[in-house]
Amino acid sequence: MNTRLTVAAGVLVALNALPLVSAQCQTTSGLSWRHKPDVKDNAISANVIANGLTKPRSVRWANDTLIVVDQGVGLVAFVEGGNDCANGWSKSVLVQNTDLNHGLAIQGSTIYASSVDNVFRYTINWSNRSVSSPETIIQGMNLAQNHKTRTLELYENWILVSGGASGNLEDESVDASHGTAQIRRFALNGTVPSGGYRWFDGELVSFGMRNAVGITMGADGRHLWTVENSADQLNYTSGGNLVDIHKDNPSEELNVVDMNSIGNFYGYPNCFTAWDMGSVVSGTSLATGDQFSIVPNVTDAQCGNTTYNTPPRLSMQAHSAPLDIQFYKADGVDENVAVTKDWNTHAFVSFHGSWNRDPPTGYGIVRIPWSGNEPSAKADAKDGYSFILQASDLAACPNGCFRPVGLAFDSRGRLFGTSDTTGELFVIHKATAASAALRMASSSTWFIIITTFMAAYVIT
Ligand SMILES: *[C@@H]1O[C@H](CO)[C@@H](O)[C@H](O)[C@H]1NC(C)=O
Ligand SMILES: *[C@@H]1O[C@H](CO)[C@@H](O)[C@H](O)[C@H]1NC(C)=O
Ligand SMILES: *[C@@H]1O[C@H](CO)[C@@H](O)[C@H](O)[C@H]1NC(C)=O
Ligand SMILES: *[C@@H]1O[C@H](CO)[C@@H](O)[C@H](O)[C@H]1NC(C)=O
Ligand SMILES: *[C@@H]1O[C@H](CO)[C@@H](O)[C@H](O)[C@H]1NC(C)=O
Ligand SMILES: *[C@@H]1O[C@H](CO)[C@@H](O)[C@H](O)[C@H]1NC(C)=O
Ligand SMILES: *[C@@H]1O[C@H](CO)[C@@H](O)[C@H](O)[C@H]1NC(C)=O
């Protein structure tokens, strides 16, 4: 009886006695989240490292410098000071240009950044972080009315640029020569035309992607992975009736482009991917991952024909709004701070969160387990990913939630991210002993264990 009481009391004392900060990893930056998200995996902790940004979007690491596109400002650099994880970040403005709104790619001392209309190239002197005046390398990209991001990715001697459709459903984008809802690539190994390439000078990499905001080359250097924001307010014709399917359809898509076979069609604006059609369309055989048509002259069967339409490799819940995808390479990371090596090669995707769903969904960061050169889950899975961080009260979203946008791992294995609506920059790293214990203490498991001991004591 006394033993039980001692054990129960011992647990409480141990929790109180834990140091608030572990020796290896300072996490007390002194900054608190505007809307603190829930950590969904005990292996990690998450902290704000900077706030007060205007609207931070893409983020990239280069030469020990974290560079952020702060929409409304330009390019901003953060350099870490003395303490690990969170403390002592210093900020400087590298480029003042309020047109820069999302895209960012860096190679050596060359920085590429995009506005709605242009891709600019800068040279940075890393010793004093001075940046040259811009050279315009692509012009005339302003083809889409309300999807304004032009995401950039470098590979071999190319720059890839992704642009969305002009509107929710843009009929014209079914034609690749229309220029919207597609990815193009531009050569960087020769001379760039004076004034920059025109959009249509770029080689077509893919089309029929409604708004592939996140694009990242896979570890094999041959497969481009894209996360596509699919349509809102969708209806589907079934048995002559128009059925409102928008709440849980269509899926957001994780697509893959084989760079040895480019120029393929990915379905939009005719074909979409089922997430949950069964609960709204009676008698349907459409399951998660299946393709369906919303236009009269294309059948569901034709959408399912991979000669016509390339389906996604994985589905994500409708309206999650995936904006970035990054892979974790655990080689050579600093195990004092890195996220677990068990996640080596896995993909991480930011979900900006829904507006077209009640209750809201998204508003977090998910991990997609990976095996070989593809997701571990099959294409028809609904559970091919899981949240590691998510807004704590989805009912309060969007205004009372963080909204993740850009993601970037540093060489030490920490994942950095931006939240545009809250103006925050945050880091996800290995759980500190204190934060892990506190989370466990607050979990119902510990509550049950402790109250069980107490109850046993009282009864006996
Ligand atoms: C930084 O380097 C650039 C050349 O890369 C030079 O023009 C500039 O004067 C330098 N600034 C300082 C403060 O040294
Ligand atoms: C870069 O800046 C440093 C420090 O100002 C300067 O000494 C160096 O010459 C610059 N490098 C180039 C390539 O201009
Ligand atoms: C990184 O910056 C240092 C100076 O801070 C410079 O010596 C080095 O060449 C830079 N590396 C690259 C890849 O530019
Ligand atoms: C640039 O790279 C492409 C593709 O690898 C190649 O076909 C082309 O000849 C190269 N151009 C120059 C000027 O090196
Ligand atoms: C779906 O149907 C509703 C009701 O008729 C309509 O308001 C909405 O615009 C339709 N959605 C699309 C994408 O056309
Ligand atoms: C279906 O019809 C639309 C509108 O008439 C047209 O733009 C589209 O090209 C057609 N699609 C196919 C696959 O025939
Ligand atoms: C798929 O589409 C291709 C070209 O459009 C066609 O030749 C083929 O017969 C179709 N396959 C099936 C199973 O319908």
Percent of the chain with pLDDT over 90: 83
Among residues 59, 87, 56, the alpha carbon closest in space to that of 423 is found at 56
Give me the count of residues in the chain: 460
Which helix H or strand E contains 375, and what residues bound it?
strand 374-375
Our answer on whether the CB atom of 308 is closer than 6 Å to any ligand 7 atom is yes
444-459 and 2-17 are packed helices; what angle lies between their axes, rounded to 10 degrees? 150
For residue 384, which phi and psi values (nearest 5 degrees)?
Answer: -80, 5
Strands 197-198 and 271-273: unpaired
Q: 321: exposed, middle or buried (C-beta count within 10 Å: 0-12, 13-18, 19+)?
A: buried
Please give the number of the atom of ligand 1 that sits closest to the Cα of 129. Answer: 1
DSSP 244-307: E-GGG-SPEEEEEEETTS--EE--TTTEEE-SS-TTTSTT----TT-EEE-STTS-HHHHT-TT
Q: pLDDT for 300-313, tens place per residue?
A: 999 999 999 999 99
- pLDDT at residue 249 greater than cutoff 70: yes
Our answer on whether the CB atom of 108 is closer than 6 Å to any ligand 3 atom is yes
pLDDT for 30 equals 73
**Pocket around ligand 2: residues whose beta carbon is below 6 Å from it?**
125, 127-128
- pLDDT at residue 152 greater than cutoff 60: yes
Helix (H, G, I), strand (E, B) or coil at 213: strand
**Pocket around ligand 4: residues whose beta carbon is below 6 Å from it?**
157, 187, 189-190
Q: How confident is the model at residue 457 (pLDDT cuts 50, 70, 90)?
A: very low
Q: pLDDT for 215-233, tens place per residue?
A: 999 999 999 999 999 999 9
- pLDDT at residue 453 greater than cutoff 90: no
Q: pLDDT for 269-301, tens place per residue?
A: 999 999 999 999 999 999 999 999 999 999 999
Among residues 301, 291, 297, the alpha carbon closest in space to that of 266 is found at 291
Distance between Cα 171 and ligand 6 center (Å):
8
Query: What does the pLDDT average to over 360-389?
Result: 98
Distance between Cα 157 and ligand 4 center (Å):
8
- pLDDT at residue 85 greater than cutoff 70: no
Going by the DSSP 8-state scheme, the letter that residue 381 receives in this structure is -
Q: Which amino acid is at 104?
A: L
The region, left, alpha or beta by phi > 0 then psi within -120 to 50, assigned to residue 455 is alpha
Q: pLDDT for 41-84, tens place per residue?
A: 999 999 999 999 999 999 999 999 999 999 999 999 999 874 44
Among residues 36, 268, 91, 70, the alpha carbon closest in space to that of 167 is found at 268
Distance between Cα 324 and ligand 7 center (Å):
34
Spatial neighbors of 389 by CB under 8 A, at least 6 apart, are 37, 38, 39, 40, 44, 46, 364, 365, 404, 428
Average pLDDT for the chain: 89
- pLDDT at residue 394 greater than cutoff 50: yes
Query: Ligand 3 pocket check: which of 123, 126, 129 to mutate, most ligand atoms within 8 Å of Cβ?
Result: 126
Top mean pLDDT of 5-19, 22-36, 184-198 is at: 184-198
Spatial neighbors of 327 by CB under 8 A, at least 6 apart, are 216, 218, 219, 345, 346, 347, 348, 370, 409
- CA distance linking residue 159 with residue 299, whole number of Å: 36
Query: What does the pLDDT average to over 15-20?
Result: 32
| pTM listed for this prediction | 0.89
Query: Ligand 4 pocket check: which of 189, 192, 205, 259 to mutate, most ligand atoms within 8 Å of Cβ?
Result: 189
Report all structural domains of the chain as residue ranges with CATH numbers, in order of start: 4-411+440-450 (2.120.10.30)
- pLDDT at residue 375 greater than cutoff 50: yes
For residue 275, which phi and psi values (nearest 5 degrees)?
Answer: -105, -60
